[in-house]
A and B are shown apart, each in its own frame.
Chain A
Amino acid sequence: MSKLKIASYWAAACGGCDVAILDIHEKIIDVANIADIVFWPVATDFKEKDVEGYPDGYIDVTLFHGAIRNSENEHYARLLRRKSKILVAFGSCATMGGVPGLANFKNRDGILARVYLESPSTQNKEQVLPQTRVEVPEGELELPYFYEEVKTLADVVDVDYFMPGCPPAPHQIWAVLQVLASGNLPPKGAVVGASDKALCDECQRVKTEKKVKKFYRPHEIIPDPQKCLLEQGIVCMGPVTRGGCSAQCTGANMPCRGCYGPLDGVVDQGAKYISALASIVDANTSEEAEQIIGQIVDPAGTFYRFGLPGSLLRRARNV
């Protein structure tokens, strides 16, 4: 059997997905036995023109991390789609926008002004903002266009598989690579490398009854290390988040923030969480319910921490 050709690319990303691939540790040697890397900016020196020179469909599998934030991200999404037989949206950013998707609570002008004009560490007396084209004495330079909003990979190209996680768990990455190498492929559009049950299913904490009278911020409570965080009044996205991560965060006394995204059949993870909260808030009157819910600081930024661009909301309006 000829070796697989694989690529890994980051768009609006942090590189954590690439490090997660390396976190399969010595199995990376097994990957080298079954696959040749043909593009991977963090680790290899292939350039854009190398990829453009490949025939269409040349790459067997591309793991695409990162959200679509600017025109260069979209260019690479289209280029790698054309060059790849299988395109995997890899990680929370590619699947649903991820942390960079929090920018959809803001707008383009506000972001550019804050970063290039207003931030305390910036000196920019000429008020220069990035331009897509600029003339320099030696010629012309180009920069990508910064979009008004963050998009998911599937917003701009056809995606074969979705692998959630911020980052995806290394044991899941290894399992998915083996499946892709076997040729025994899951149905197109499948979520791979994750559970089809909620995070709570693999969370080891003891769950009894969810009745919440008060929501706490970290400085207001020392959580019981054995009990369900949500039952203790700590906002945890576990009930509405796909498992598969081995519940590492809740195992470390940190509440889930939803990076594995919604479960099958759920279109909006944040809305699902609002629905879940409605059933656990222990209130006798609507005023009391409002008072309890009001203790949750920044519900939108918490319930849509990783998935605003891929949600029904997509973005805040009139910001």
Chain B
Amino acid sequence: MQKNIRNFTIIAHIDHGKSTLADRLLEYTGALSSREMTEQVLDSMDLERERGITIKAHAVRLGYKADDGNEYVLNLIDTPGHVDFSYEVSRSLASCEGSVLVVDATQGVEAQTLANTYLAIEHNHEIIPVINKIDLPGAEPQKVKEQIEEAIGIDCSEAILASAKEGIGTKEILDAIVRKVPPPKGTGEAPLKALIFDSWFDNYQGVIVLIRVFDGTVRPGMKMRLMAAGKEHEITKVGVFTPKMEEVPQLSAGEVGYLIAGIKTVGDTKIGDTITDAARPAESQLPGYKEIKPMVFSGLYPVENIQYEELKNALEKLRLNDSSFSFEPETSSALGFGFRCGFLGLLHMEIIKERLEREFQLSLITTAPTVIYRVTGTKGEEFFIDNPSSLPDRFEKIEEPYVKVSVFVPQEYIGQILELCQEKRGAQTEFTFISKDRIMVGYEIPLNEILWDFYDRLKSVSRGYASMDYEFIGYRPSKLVKLDVLLNGEPVDALSLIVHSDTSYYKGRQLVEKLRQVIPRQMFEIAIQASIGGKIIARESVKAMRKNVLAKCYGGDITRKRKLLEKQKEGKKKMKQIGKVEIPQEAFLTVLKVKE
């Protein structure tokens, strides 16, 4: 019953109520009773719930009997809500025909929402605008409607006023999905074409692949072929999430569900790849497939060298589930053995690091994140570097990745935003009023500059009102130099940075000053120096520790005093010894906090 299927997704900015709305839809359609609901079912990972963001896409099949008396199958495809995962978002969007656009009635349209809505429109989605949180005192639904009309250019006369928290508007949204979102096209008889829009590793079943079938039928026993990867596997199970996993005999054109085929690593099931029947393959794969590459690199080192193997095992385990992150062994003269890891973005990096520490109880040092530079050597040879310390002293040319950043900001904060973008070496390409008091500015900025503290400062100068999105636009030559840090005369490779030469002196001074603040006093004076091309440009020192003594220690509190010492001892363990100097974990990220 293809004509009764509706595939849709929800587009919303962080905190605008996407997960709560998803919960309501599940509840209303009886997929889960309210008793079964743990808050926000779709965000299942602890980390996701804590951060209030959705990291992995999921798909849930809902049964809904509409007022016209027909039973409909509604497939809700959840999407990640962060800029780091925009490719995954695009594949989720490609799997459906409509989007519910949720905008917070008190906040208005944000950059992320806009970017995703444009993407949805590119995928020919029918957009159903929903103004959420209308129960809040600060709600301005009319103003937000106008904003959506002006900013996105879609008709909001039928926008649904809702409060997912209070359950207001849930039925109206379901009805609109049935009425407005077109049923999927495609035929069950054509050769199989199914799009992978997500996959993850399950300890018991292997890789679980989420698919949208465009043509043909997929069923257990079939030998499938991954068209981009060129590999074949035998399908053992197909099914749907209701949201519990439920096996079905087959999935046909227009349907959404999962398949299991004894695959061991998610790296084999690339998001965007097309699945076809090996016995009767489709002629061409579905459009839009891209090999996604990490954009941001950072070194991960165990604080205790003996944890190296554990770290390696943990990285391998995480990689089973996340093919977008990469790691390679790396040696640092300062930090010993570790890994150079590649991430989609900063959030992705933080998530991986936090999972390593939380789920695997590792104590880690993260070096400052960096982008990949394209270097032309003195003999004209071209190579890429993902670690500042590997930049040679002499080279012909260095190029860095640029991104186009779009910022949405209320007019009153525009001055600070422009200043920030200028400071980050940005060149303005766009300046548009999207409504009476909201502006969108576009800037071309080196990716490296937005890694540092761009997002935090964007939020702080706009009191949280500005939002942003960015996309990679290519490599451009830059005047870049390597800034080295020396502790008591010894260079510390893990603290090296690549910076723009115009601000290099200033950054060098800032960096040594910051390091002076985070490196605790030790038994001797520590000289901290910054150098460029062998020339010292800044120096600070951490004076020797003067005093650390317990004045009193008598019978009463010997156990307490022992515990006190043990606590200090634990503190020491979190330090990394580099030569004779002990450096706290956070020192390696201090470089991030250096302002222009």
A and B co-occur in one complex: no
